[in-house]
Amino acid sequence: MSDLPPSGSTEPAASGPPDDPTAPPPPAAERAPGPSGTTGGATPASGASGADPWAGHTGPVPIVPDQPVYDSPQPGAPNPAGQPAWGAPPGWNAPGTPPQGWTAPAGTPPPGWGGPAYPSYPMPGAAYPMPGAAYPVPAGPGAYAGWYPGIDPQDPLVNPPHGGIGPWFARCSAALRRGWRQLLPIVLLTQVLPAAVIGVLTLVFSPEGELATAPDSAPGLPAGFWGQLFAFYGVLLAAGLAFGLLQAAGWAAGTWVVARQAAGEPTGLGAAFRYGMRRALGLWGWTLLVSLLVVVGSCFCLLPGLYAAFALALFGPVYLFERREPIGRAWRMFHSRFGMVLGRVALVMAVLLAATVLDAVVGGISGALFGVEPMTAVGTAIGAVAFAVFGALLAAPAYLAQQVGLVVTYAEQRAQEGPVNAARLAAELG
């Protein structure tokens, strides 16, 4: 008898011991997930027929775990595993985005800001001193709120909006420390020298101070008094006009030094005087006009003249930096921020007033020592002239304070109108 199975049977030939009829069936192998993350249904390999793609496969079936589906942080990002919607793991943030729950400090630009770059603000609680000054910039949350974008709180010349009187004073002091070697010769030559010469002319041409006695024993004016009086004021007026051009050149040269040094540009006395002479004639003309307005105002009970002197104090920097309508611009700057400009100009005027009082004290001492007519003798004339020159020298610090204080005040008012810095102001001088 043959051992082959009957014809037509598909059962394989037995090659070992018979199977145990009580053994459990083997577990079914897991199928690989399809493109949609499922383990069944049609696949790209099987088409629409839904046939099993692993049909006819011999050997173990690989088990591929389901991949998590995340939103891609960047459109078109590479898909490293070839999986659908492969993206960032949970809790991942794109570079440059703040963590969840983080709140930006006050004064930082809003998301998507396209304006000028914000300055580098100090961290809360830090205090960074301004370059060239010992006054720290205010720090802490909200310290820079409301400032114009593009304003550098560390600018050595421009006091930013809401900076206050402390940083203004610090910038004035820093400008004096940087430029006193150039500013002092300019002030001595263009301000102190004219003041000393006018002081000596006052001694020479002043009318006689003693009254004459008429035939009826009544006091009267000395002979030739009116001629001496007109000569006195005529000489002073001519000297003031002549020296006014030199003084205007000095103010322009000093402004040039202050602005360029704050911008980190080289300065020299020769270049400063050349710039001053270029601008002297125009500045001198505007100075004459402003002086006339102040004199006319002073004729009306002094107060209008004093008000005009304060309101037009910035006409010089306006002319040098902008070269357009100095009187109108200075007037608008004063009235648009009345308290701020009045306070700054009042500090400058206080220094000038102190110098005037000191000069009057020196003149009083000179009169007490050498008499009311010191030029009648050589010894008293030499002493009176020496005191006049000494009084003019004592006013040099006041001239320096006026030069620096008005320039820093003008720069601060420009910052109130929009972003500006020392480099831009230096470039505007031409």
Using DSSP, state whether 143 is helix, strand or coil.
coil
Region 32-37: mean pLDDT is 44
Using only the alpha carbons of the chain, give its radius of gyration: 45
H/E stretch holding 349: helix 338-370
Domain boundaries, the chain: 169-209+232-428
- Alpha carbons 289 and 297: distance in angstroms, whole number: 12
- Alpha carbons 402 and 348: distance in angstroms, whole number: 6
Region 214-231: mean pLDDT is 71
- Per-residue confidence at 128, pLDDT binned at 50, 70, 90? very low
Nearest Cα to 166, choosing from 418, 339, 344, 313? 344
pLDDT at 284 over 50: yes
- Alpha carbons 103 and 411: distance in angstroms, whole number: 34
Scored b (16 or more CB within 10 A) or e, 128-166 reads: eebebbebebbbeeebbeebeeebbbbbbbbbbbebeee
| Cα 281 to the center of its chain, rounded Å | 30
- Alpha carbons 13 and 17: distance in angstroms, whole number: 11
Q: Are 138 and 170 in contact (CB under 8 A)?
A: no
SS (H, E, C) 262-291: HCCCCCCHHHHHHHHHHHHHHHHHHHHHHH
pLDDT at 71 over 50: no
- Note the pLDDT of residue 101: 59
- Per-residue confidence at 377, pLDDT binned at 50, 70, 90? confident
pLDDT at 1 over 50: no
- Alpha carbons 244 and 250: distance in angstroms, whole number: 10
Least trusted range by pLDDT, from 112-116, 325-329, 356-360, 364-368: 112-116
pLDDT at 297 over 50: yes
H/E stretch holding 219: strand 219-220
Nearest Cα to 291, choosing from 315, 256, 268, 324? 315
More confident residue, 346 or 79: 346
Nearest Cα to 120, choosing from 135, 131, 109? 109
Average pLDDT value over all residues in the chain = 76
Does the pTM of the predicted model rise above 0.75? no
Long-range contacts of 416-420 (CB under 8 A, 24+ apart): 416/161, 416/336, 416/337, 416/340, 418/148, 419/116, 419/148, 419/149, 419/150, 419/151, 420/151, 420/158
Residue with tokens 């000297």: 239
- Per-residue confidence at 227, pLDDT binned at 50, 70, 90? confident
Counting residues of the chain whose pLDDT is more than 90, the rounded percentage is 47
